[in-house]
Amino acid sequence: MFDSPFDAVDFAGLRLRNRFALAPMTRVSAEANGRANAAMVDHYVRYAKGGFGLLITEGIYPDQAASQGYAYQPGLADALQTESWVPIVKAVHAADSKIIAQIMHAGAQLQYNRYVDQPIGLTEQKPMAKPLGLYGDQEAWFEPKPMTETDFDQVMNGFLGAIRNAQAAGFDGVELHGANGYLLNQMLSTHFNTREDKFGGSLEKRAKFILDLVKSAREMVDNDFALGIRLSQITITDQDYQWPEGEEGFAWLVQALTDAGIDFIHTTDTSADRASLRDGDRSLAEVVQDTGVALIVNGGINDENYQDVANSYPDALLALGKAALADPAFVRKIQGGEPVDALDFAMLQPIANVENEMRWRADQKD
């Protein structure tokens, strides 16, 4: 018999009522100054009431410099932004779920920033393809300014400050966004990172900043505050990128993160089971699972395959993006044997904010 994903679990020091997590989803619905608002309280509470044991927030920017990537993205960079999250955290806790803040630095993958005129990046390399229409109408990527040592120090301070703020706001933990082409992911990527200094070259060097960040964060936060990282090879505009080091390199990275004090690793791919590493036939999630560190899996989990994914990763949380977007009550309905709603991307038009979603939902009822 397999464990039911609906049973309560202990995960990275958190007691969760089940193994279902809301995947982080940027909804560009904050105030222009980066403060969270009442619409976001209602938005997140839907998922807690819909049965998700853990909510991971949308990517939140950590500093009032080059980290913001989208207009109306929320921040955790100052006291007022920090306070603005408290009602969300309280409401989610009152509905019996836990909530983790995803901390995201855009780096070169920046479509709008209210604080600076130019993105920073590892090099002048831009992301592939075009910016995402879901978050605004920017036609082309800006050319990033290659980061200096001072920039690295400022980014480090920004992340540590935002993690401290997340703890002060009452979050149960943070997830560093090391996936999907944002700054920490750019560091690991040989598409972006062709530096020849201590931050570029071998995987050990490309991971140096991330490992230093995890060590410093671990020393700073309380023991019961979950410290995790999301990792992918894919980016929002390139689903084929592979790290040159393959499975051995990824296993090294997972171990190094664990040694640095990470509590969980969240893998994301086009599908949770995809064998996407350059060599070998295991998924990112299987490599993490083998090391024993707490795991969140993501990619294509839905009402038809969730039990198979839960069986393949018996201790992991299952993070749902599009299936949760389609139906915030996914977990409650599946558990009760009810059908769930399918995703209609029209709800995210013309941009992916909560207001457009709510208008679309109201129109469906008419």
Ligand X SMILES: Cc1cc2nc3c(=O)[nH]c(=O)nc-3n(C[C@H](O)[C@H](O)[C@H](O)COP(=O)(O)O)c2cc1C
51 binds ligand X (CB under 6 A): no
Q: Is 112 a catalytic residue?
A: no
Cα separation, 176 vs 270, in Å, equals 20
Does the footprint of ligand X cover residue 23 (CB under 6 A)?
yes
For residues 274 and 322, which CB has a smaller minimum distance to ligand X in the complex? 322
The count of residues in the chain is 366
Q: Is 58 in the site for ligand X (CB under 6 A)?
A: yes
Binding mask 198-237 for ligand X (x = CB under 6 A): --------------------------------x-------
- Residue 300 as a binder of ligand X (CB under 6 A): the answer is yes
State which of residues 67, 97, 111, 180 lies at the interface with ligand X (CB under 6 A): 180
Q: H-helix or E-strand containing 103?
A: strand 98-103
Catalytic residue among 70, 72, 182, 306: 182
Shortest reach from residue 330's CB to ligand X, in Å: 10
82, 97, 113, 298: residue in contact with ligand X (rule CB under 6 A) = 298
Contact 351, 135 (CB under 8 A): yes
- For the chain, state the CA radius of gyration: 19
Kindly tell me which of 126 and 230 has the beta carbon lying closer to ligand X.
230
Query: Is beta strand 294-298 parallel, antiparallel or unpaired with respect to 264-268?
Result: parallel
- Does position 299 interact with ligand X (CB under 6 A)? The reply is yes
Q: Determine the residue with CB nearest ligand X.
A: 321
3-class DSSP state of 283? coil
CB nearer to ligand X: give 109 or 289: 109
Residue whose CB is less far from ligand X, 75 or 321? 321
Residue closer to ligand X by CB (options 256, 343) is: 343
Q: Which of 301, 309, 331, 354 binds ligand X (CB under 6 A)?
A: 301
Least distance in angstroms from the C-beta of 309 to ligand X: 10
Residues 6 or more apart in contact with residue 305 via CB below 8 angstroms: none
Least distance in Å: CB of 317 to ligand X?
12
Instruction: Give long-range contacts, CB 8 A cutoff, 24+ apart: 250-257.
Output: 250/277, 250/284, 250/287, 251/287, 251/290, 251/291, 252/203, 252/204, 253/188, 253/203, 253/207, 254/287, 254/288, 254/291, 254/293, 255/291, 256/204, 256/207, 256/211, 257/210, 257/211, 257/214, 257/229, 257/293
Q: How many separate helices (H) and strands (E) can be counted in the chain? A: 12, 12
Binding part of the chain for ligand X, among 17-25, 34-42, 160-168, 216-224 by CB under 6 A, reads 17-25
Catalytic residues: 182
- Sites of contact with ligand X (CB under 6 A): 23-26, 58-59, 102, 134, 177, 179-180, 230, 268, 298-301, 320-323, 352
